[in-house]
Amino acid sequence: MNTKVFRNLSYGVYVVSSMDGERPTGCTANSIMQITSSPATIAVSINHDNYTNGCIQKTGKLAINILSEASAPGIIGTFGFQSGKDTNKFEEIAYSLEGGLPILKDSCGYIICQVIDTMETDTHTVFLGKVLDGDVIESAAPAMSYAYYHNVIKGKSPKNAPTYLPEETEPGKKWVCSVCGHVYDGELPFEDLGDDYKCPVCHQPKTAFVIEN
């Protein structure tokens, strides 16, 4: 089996948001697709270990925030490499409440869904959501694709992502963020970067980078 074939499937990059009681929370997700047009339904795959999974189960509602190519890459790190169980992910994120769900300002649109069915896999719950509302932010940049996230932002996906593939080891020394796996590929040698350098994906400090061969 050549698992690289999975890289030829196309996705977007989203923040799936929900409520944890009075507190907004959510996680980065790419495994989302529209299933039907009328009534509009959408499928969202969320790992059993993600805190967001339980919040969606409890509330029966979720929002899909569609990230654009201009959305701050740190959003993907904030929502994709830490858990809402331990962190208030929305603490430094601009958002509004629409239909009782947190909607990120830095996106190109959102869709609000009522969960009408679920399917369990060994690792993930597939939520089937009936679309209740949605809107486009006209002035925003085009929607970010998963390929753009990998090829332009040079971002990685954690093991909880349904599309996770183990990295192949490349020859030679490279500086890698120990939190999100981002590989530094800037023009300046890593050692010459200022101490205020932060991982562009998950915003961890320079000290979070380690050398991998």
Ligand X SMILES: Cc1cc2nc3c(=O)[nH]c(=O)nc-3n(C[C@H](O)[C@H](O)[C@H](O)COP(=O)(O)O)c2cc1C
Within 10 angstroms of residue 128's Cβ, the number of other Cβ atoms is: 17
Q: Which amino acid is at 192?
A: D
When the beta carbons of 74 and 109 are compared against ligand X, the nearer one is 74
Stretch binding ligand X (CB under 6 A), from 25-33, 67-75, 92-100, 189-197: 25-33
The nearest distance, CB 92 to ligand X, in angstroms, is 15
46 burial via Cβ count (<10 Å: 0-12, 13-18, 19+): buried
Q: Which two tokens stand for residue 81?
A: 């490499």
50 binding ligand X? (CB under 6 A)? yes
When the beta carbons of 23 and 188 are compared against ligand X, the nearer one is 23
Stretch binding ligand X (CB under 6 A), from 75-83, 102-110, 129-137, 184-192: 75-83
The nearest distance, CB 53 to ligand X, in angstroms, is 7
> How far is Cα 12 from Cα 27, in angstroms, rounded to an integer?
14
For 163-181, give one letter per residue: b (16+ CB within 10 A) or e: eeeeeeeeeeebbbbebbb
159 burial via Cβ count (<10 Å: 0-12, 13-18, 19+): exposed
78 binding ligand X? (CB under 6 A)? no
The nearest distance, CB 83 to ligand X, in angstroms, is 3
Residues β-bridged to residue 81: none
Q: Residue with the closest Cβ to ligand X? A: 80
102 binding ligand X? (CB under 6 A)? no
Q: Tell which positions 153-182 bind ligand X, by CB under 6 A.
A: 157-158, 160-162
Please report, as ranges, the residues that interact with ligand X according to CB under 6 A: 13, 25, 27-31, 45-47, 50-52, 76, 79-85, 124, 149, 157-158, 160-162
